[in-house]
A and B are shown apart, each in its own frame.
Chain A
């Protein structure tokens, strides 16, 4: 068994993590990670603060659950109602708004439900339901999913039936499904622009302020979980609301489109 020394060596290597670096873990939504903004911000954060931010890319529901369990030090998500409930349960210290992007209604380029002509997002959603046009829902309790459900509710539609497909997966997988079925889907603009498999899909409706998507930074409560790295979390928050961050966030463009609007308020 000549393999043994090799395997033992690798086992030993497993034990030794990067203990010397200042690591913290942050759970973020898939839409944030898929936007590509993280890849711009993380190296700058490391350069300015010395903090290596380890991202756990999950849905908003799971991100908040990881925070509640103390498995991450902070959470960056976009679902206000869920965030406030999470704070009320004592899981975090506070909620700091950082930036927003917006959702768009992506659908077949031919727009069979006629959403392009609608005045607002609710009418566009109602038109999709009216036409029974195929619609892919995230169905995963993510921020995007919650936004979508709120829109159906406000549009007075109970989304159910053959045309409504809840896939229970992340933004990318849901977009893949929509591309495969040539269906409508609610997506954040960043994920959509970064998505590599657009097929016949295009943005059919955009621009209604209802579709704005506020990202907030939530530190995990150190009183509940004493092991969280509260000092690093605070340092990161200071950086995220700084002018440096503002410049990077607003300067981030895909296909010449600005994705995020910085709106953090000074304390």
Chain B
């Protein structure tokens, strides 16, 4: 219990003192995770919508694979990306290993299935709601997809935020492909793992509190921004 209070106090000291290292690793955490969330959303949201609307033979298989990928251990993803990006691997010449880009790639692989899967469920439910109406109004396929994406935008934002939450709290994969290099690829989660390893529980907890606050702030910011939109609450 004492550790927790110490951690909170230390977190406050670090934040209020605008600790340079803290700002650097928090900034990189945000960069990597927001970047990964953006890319994963661009892939995952339309994929989810497409799966919800189209009926094709392998659809069930694709959805089952997607759901299974949600449970993929990050360490496995990290290892997979490591093997690909390693100098001895197929993409070694790019020299991406142990860079923030490699961390973004790993996180995109981890969270795209989550975003696609949640988007699929949301759009599927909305499509079930709207189906008869949109057919009755003689909509084209493109009009249907546009309508569903727009009217489902809040659910889709939730999908993206779920992906972001997973990304910013992820440690297993980015530890392997990022390497936790000080000033280069160290982010909040890997710093927490490092400090825990040193037995510095107070500092580790402090970083943990910063991580939680950051995640909450991003969520609040997104909700605030979307609330100022014209069309009000749903």
Which A residues lie at the B interface, using CB under 8 A?
A: 1-4, 6-7, 10-11, 13-15, 17-18, 25, 30, 34, 54-57, 68-71, 170-173, 175-176, 179, 194-198, 225, 227
A residues near B199, Cβ cutoff 8 Å: 172, 175-176, 179, 195-198
Q: Does B31 contact A (CB under 8 A)?
A: yes
Q: Place the interface of chain B in its size category.
A: 20 to 34
Shortest Cβ gap from A7 to chain B (Å):
5
Pick the residue among A15, A71, A196 that contacts B86 (CB under 8 A): A71
16 contacts between A and B (CB under 8 A): A1-B225, A6-B34, A7-B37, A14-B100, A17-B99, A18-B184, A25-B179, A30-B197, A54-B182, A54-B184, A68-B88, A172-B198, A196-B198, A196-B200, A197-B199, A197-B201
Given contacts A3-B222, A71-B98, whether A14 and B198 have CB atoms under 8 Å apart is no
Contact with A along B186-226 (1 / 0, CB 8 A): 00000000101111111000000000000000000010010
Residue of B nearest to A194 (CB): B198
Given contacts A54-B184, A69-B86, A70-B92, whether A7 and B34 have CB atoms under 8 Å apart is yes
3 smallest beta-carbon distances between A and B, as pairs? A172-B197, A70-B87, A197-B199
Q: Does B10 contact A (CB under 8 A)?
A: no
Which B residues lie at the A interface, using CB under 8 A?
A: 30-32, 34-35, 37-38, 86-89, 92, 95, 97-101, 104, 179-182, 184, 194, 196-202, 222, 225
Q: How far is it, in angstroms, between the C-alpha of A51 and the C-alpha of B127 when the chains are bound?
A: 58
Shortest Cβ gap from B163 to chain A (Å):
13
CB <8 Å contact, A10 and B200: no
